[in-house]
């Protein structure tokens, strides 16, 4: 199937896709802040430039787009039908880079939490998911935090 946009329009559409401070990122940051957690964002000194860094807890959070990071089993994680080789190489290299960066972070002693874009579409789903993820870390065991069910 051919693209519904001209090359100029497609370039414009793709150029508007943000890499940082996305709506899903802001939702996750709002949740964490509302639960008493303090963090830094986009720490370039760490492998993979994590979206959120909870240094006190030695935990990083990646808020990944389902399309760009190919969320397995998600309806949004599809390869485009046009320029198949280009997109498959681009997305697969992103997935491989994510794996490599996570290995590096674990070797440095960091815990890793990944939140997917599709999980942020409904606030109750996001809240449940984050509580589940945080319960598996030392953050979920800390006193004073409101992240238990």
Give the strand pairing for 40-41 and 52-54.
antiparallel
Query: Which of 40-44, 71-75, 119-123, 145-149 comes out lowest in average pLDDT?
Result: 145-149
Q: List the one residue out of 19, 22, 28, 44 whose CA is nearest residue 114.
A: 28
Domain locations in the chain? 20-141
Residue 149 has pLDDT above 70, yes or no: no
Superfamily of domain 20-141 in CATH is: VSR Endonuclease (3.40.960.10)
Q: What is the DSSP letter of 109?
A: T
Residue 93 has pLDDT above 50, yes or no: yes
Q: What is the pLDDT of residues 4-15, one digit of tens each?
A: 777 787 667 666
User: Which residues pair with residue 52 across a beta bridge?
Assistant: 41, 61
Q: Is 33 helix (H, G, I), strand (E, B) or coil?
A: helix
Across 26-35, 100-109, 129-138, the highest mean pLDDT is recorded for 100-109
* pTM of the full structure: 0.80
Report the sign of the C-alpha dihedral through residues 35, 142, 137, 110, in that order. Answer: positive
């Amino acid at each position: 199937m051919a693209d519904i946009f001209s090359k100029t329009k497609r370039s414009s559409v793709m150029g508007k896709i943000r890499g940082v401070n996305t709506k899903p990122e802001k939702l996750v940051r709002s949740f964490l802040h509302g639960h008493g957690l303090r963090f830094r964002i986009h720490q370039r000194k760490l492998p993979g430039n994590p979206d959120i860094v909870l240094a006190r807890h030695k935990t990083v959070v990646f808020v990944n787009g389902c399309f760009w990071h190919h969320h397995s089993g998600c309806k949004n994680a599809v390869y485009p039908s046009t320029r198949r080789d280009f997109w498959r190489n681009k997305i697969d290299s992103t997935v491989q880079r994510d794996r490599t960066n996570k290995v590096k972070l674990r070797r440095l002693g960091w815990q890793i939490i990944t939140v997917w874009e599709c999980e942020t579409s409904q606030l109750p789903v996001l809240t449940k998911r984050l509580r589940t993820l945080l319960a598996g870390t030392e953050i979920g065991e800390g006193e004073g935090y409101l992240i238990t069910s």
